Every structure is written in structure tokens, then in C-alpha cells.
Amino acid sequence: MNLKLKKVLTMRTIVATSAGLTLSSSTFVAAVQVAGFLAGDAAWLAILTGGLLCTTAALCFGELNGMTPSAAGIRLYFSRAYNDRISLIVSMLYMVVVMGVIGAESYVLARVLNEVWPSVPALVWILAMFSIVTVLNVLGIKIAGGFQNVLTYGLVLSMLAFAFIALAKVNFQLTSPFASGGSIGLVNAVALGVFLFVGFEWVTPLAEEVTHHRMVSKGMLLAIGILSVTYALFTIAMTATTPRETLAGSPIPHLIFARSILSDAGVTWMVAITLAASITTFNAGLISVSRFVYSSAREHVLPPLLSKISMRFFTPWTAILAIFLIGLAISITVLITHQYLVMVNIAAAMESIIYALAGLAVIRLRGKMPEADRPFRIPGGYIIPGICTLVFTGLALAVFASFPIVLLYIALGLLICTWYVNVVVPELKRRYQIQKAAAKPPRRLMAQKKSKSD
Amino acid sequence: MATHEEISASLQSFYEGYQKNNKLKLMNRDWNRIIIIRASDIDSQHTLTLQNGELSVTRGAPDQNADLVVTSDSETLADLFYGDITPTEPYMNGTLVIQGSENDILRLDFISLMIWGE
């Protein structure tokens, strides 16, 4: 039986995609916030701990993805582990949060570009970025694997180069590597440190484009390892060479750092890094959300208008346009309120909830479907999924305790999504069934009847 | 459980729907793909070949590597290619598994949408 595919992805591209989707301009802001929770040079400790905890989530996603290699991702995993309703509520809320991350991302990028070209207002940059990415999406232009490799590995090397140049410049000595200044600060720093890795699991839809599903699991782990080291070094370099209070109060700490290290050349280099980091996150975020919206409309859980396709480019243009409008509204709101950090914290909490649910999903599915084929099974029984569930539940609670407004927003989002799934979705499905029954009798049944009468 | 013959008949129905749609043929003139359709619960395999906008259906596996591999139980495959169900529902609940690039998967869904409607 010939089941080989013509095109398959390499491990290099899987790692680049996983790390590339994670690297964004907002991560520089988050890295400074992580350092802000800690005394001394202990930021690396929180980042590496965050990375280590994310590996437990990566292992859980690896097992889930091996069982059901599908671009549907958490929508499918959670549907099997819990039920379709919970899966839909969580997926919808998560997609809204991803839109929020795009809002924060566009704000940071617009501020960076506005800093370099002050005569152009930040709103113009946001409009331009959204328009470009939307047009690319409607045209169906995706970042190719080779280009993604160049972008990601170029970004990682640039960040490491910046870190080493900065550390060499001040002749850096690690004097207080474990002085975290207290356990509460460390827990909060780790919780926010998780945000630095947000999106590593977005690589799981590529499971349909590989021949060995273990590759995706290994790719995620490698990406987290590379990112942990890169972030730790970059954050230490930033806080060791630039006053923390200057960095903490700014949405563009990486630009301030670059200017202090390499003057104008540093600024140019950092603008290029920021653009590259944002393009991948921005594009991937819009693709993920628009595909989710399209498939949800096809599944009759969103209005059918959102399943329209472009006859020329074979892309879901109404879904993309809807995301353009929502994303723009969120970005403008962030621009007016300057509440980008709230978005970062909401994303950190939501990501922790998703990871905790993924850990629990592994445990539940082992009970519900013990015989199911698992190309990748986490070793050590329930220990790693258990740790993942408990730790990420704790981290989500830590974010809520530190930022009660985040709890309020997530609870509100959960209520709205629950109402939508319980009230609107059944109505949409009912209408579809009526329409379907009136429009066409089952063709298979008709064919069977015809065959019998013949 | 559907039979191999029923899956063949459903693919024939899909083929006829495709043949009636000249716009679809025009849109697919540069989308040359080999798609394997295989049932997970019975011994049944078909190949859809799209070449210069023309679709052909053959029984059995192709003699070259495929661009897409569509796997599901025989019931789902028969219902799917008759257009009685949309691919999204079985895809979202894991009954339908498709291997291949995301763009190709989306294109296949679009073709099904254009042949059978919502």
C-alpha cells in the first residue's frame, strides 16, 4: 500500500515554525516584566523554569497530537477528552485571546516603528500591517518553510549576538544568580515567563504534513530548549546594561536596549528583528483564527456567512475580513488605552489554562481510550501530565491573584462563550437542519432506492 | 458499514457533480493532485487524480506518491462523497483524518462545498 506523501516537512522546519510562532515583539516586553518580579540576576531562573514547565505541556501535546494528528488541534483533543461543548467554549475563548495577543503585538510593533519614524502615527502602522497581512491571507500567500527557517534562525542568532555584545561590553559577572527576592515574586515571574513560550504548540497542525508524528513532539521540545536559552541570555543582557525602571515603563524595551548598546546601528538591527518577529506571529495568528472561524462556520456553530470562499484564491475571505475588523478594533482599543500589558497577562493566564487542560486531557483519554494508538506516549505514567495540570493551574491562579482584572476579563469571556454555545449554536444548527431537509433528500439513500428499483 | 461498491458509487456521484461544474474545472486547472481515499474498516482504496482541471476516479492505490491521503470509516466516506454530510464535522471529531498540506486540505473542502453546497 503506497501511503507516502509527495511533500513532507523536515525537523528543521518544524523547530523553526514552533520557535518562530513563539518569538514575537511582545515577548521582549514580557521578558522585562519577568525580570521586574525578581531581584538580582535571577530572571534566567524564572525563564528556564517556565521553559521546563512548558516541556511538560509539549509532551502532553505530543501524545494528544500523535493520537489525533489534525489541524483541528485543541478543538479535537478537548472534544474527545471532555465533550464537544466544553471544547467549543474553550476553543472560542482561546481564539479571542489570540486576537488579543495580536492586538498587543501590533501595538508594540507600531510603537517601535513610530519611535523610528515619529512623523507617521502608530495608527497608520497598525492599519498598514493589518491590511498587508489580510491581503496576503486573502491571496493565500503563506510563509514558506525555507523562509520560515531563515526568519527564525536569523532571529535567534541576532538575539544571541545582541546578548553577547551587551554582556561583553559591560564585562558582565553573574553575581546573584539565585537571589529571586522571595517565592511570590518567583511564582509570578514563572507564570509570566510562560508567556514567552506562548504559541509553541501552534505547530501541531503541521502533523498532517509529516510522516512521523514523533517529529512534531521532538520539534516542540527542541524549540522550547532553544528559546529558553535565548530568552534567558537576552533578558539578562537587557537588565544588566539598561536601567530596569527605564525598561519596565516602556512598550519598546528592546529598542531602548539596542540603542544603548549599538546606537543607531543597534536600532536599525532591532527594528529588523522586531519586524521579522511580528510578521510570523501576526500572520500565523490571523491564519489560525481565520481557519478556525471558517471551519466553525462550516460546522454550523458560527453564521454561514463566515464560510464564504474566494472563487479566485480558494481562501475563506469573509472569515479573514471578519478577523481583520475584530483585530483592528482590538488593536485600536489597545492603542487608545495603552493596556497592552493586560493583554499579555490575559494571554499568560489563558495559555496556562489551556496547558492544564491538555495535561488533564492526556489523563482522561488514557482512561477513556486505553487501547487507542499512541505513536508517542509520555513515559512515567501519569507523573508528567499530572505535573502539567497542577503546575499550570497554579500558575493561572497566580496570575489571577496578581492581576484580578485578568480574572474578570477571562470570566466575562467564559460567560459570553458559554451563553453563545448553549443558546446561539443550537439555534444555528436547528436552522441548518431545517434548510438541509428542505433543500435535498439524502443522496445516498436515493441512490440505494434507485439501485433496488433497477 | 458501507461496502467498497457503495464508496465507489459515492465517488462516481462526486465525479458527476464535478463534471457538471465548469467553473470548478477552470479553477482547478493549475491544481494537479493525487488523492488517495481509503477506508479504515474495510479493504477499500480509491484514487482521485486531478490533472489540468480534469478529475478521474480509479480503484486501488496510485503508482506514485500522493499529495493527500483521506482516511475514514466506510460509512463516513460514502456519506461524504454523496454530499450528505460536510467534511468539517467528521474532521472536527477525528473520524476523518487527512494527511497533506493545510492548503490542499482546504482546497478539497472548497471543492466539496462547490459541488454539494452547505
Q: Is A452 on the interface with B (CB under 8 A)?
A: no
Q: Which fold has domain A13-453?
A: Amino acid/polyamine transporter I (1.20.1740)
A422-447 residue pLDDT tens: 999 999 999 988 887 776 667 777 77
A52-97 residue pLDDT tens: 999 999 999 999 988 888 778 888 899 999 999 999 999 999 989 9
Report yes or no: A51 and A359 within 8 Å, Cβ to Cβ: no
- ipTM score assigned to the predicted complex: 0.84
What is the least distance, in Å, from the CA of B10 to any CA of chain A? 7
Of B83, B84, B97, the CB nearest to A70: B97
What is the least distance, in Å, from the CA of B64 to any CA of chain A? 8
Q: Is A432 on the interface with B (CB under 8 A)?
A: yes
What the block records as the C-alpha cell of A59 is 509532551
Q: What pLDDT is attached to residue A299?
A: 84
A245-268 residue pLDDT tens: 888 878 899 999 999 999 999 999
Q: What pLDDT is attached to residue A160?
A: 95
3-state helix, strand, coil in chain A (%, to 5): 80, 0, 20
B29-61 residue pLDDT tens: 989 999 999 999 999 999 999 999 999 999 998
Cell 503506497 identifies what position?
A2
Pick the CATH number of B4-116 from 3.40.50.1370, 3.10.129.10, 3.40.630.30, 3.30.1050.10: 3.30.1050.10
**Residue A22 — very low, low, confident or very high, per pLDDT cuts 50/70/90?**
confident
**Residue B113 — very low, low, confident or very high, per pLDDT cuts 50/70/90?**
confident
Report the percentage of chain B scoring pLDDT > 70. Answer: 99
**Residue A6 — very low, low, confident or very high, per pLDDT cuts 50/70/90?**
low
Please state, in angstroms and rounded to a whole number, the distance separating the CA atoms of residues A327 and A339. Answer: 15
Q: What pLDDT is attached to residue A448?
A: 74
* Domain ranges for chain A: 13-453
Residues of chain B positioned with their CB less than 8 A from the CB of A75: 92
In the predicted structure, residue A365 carries a pLDDT above the cut 90: yes
Of A314, A432, A447, the CB nearest to B107: A314
Report yes or no: A28 and A171 within 8 Å, Cβ to Cβ: no
Q: What is the mean pLDDT of chain A?
A: 87
Question: How many CB pairs below 8 Å do chains A and B form together?
Answer: 116
* Domain ranges for chain B: 4-116
The helix/strand count (H/E) of chain A reads as: 17, 0
Q: What pLDDT is attached to residue A440?
A: 66
The stretch A369-390 carries a mean pLDDT of 93
Residues of chain B positioned with their CB less than 8 A from the CB of A148: none
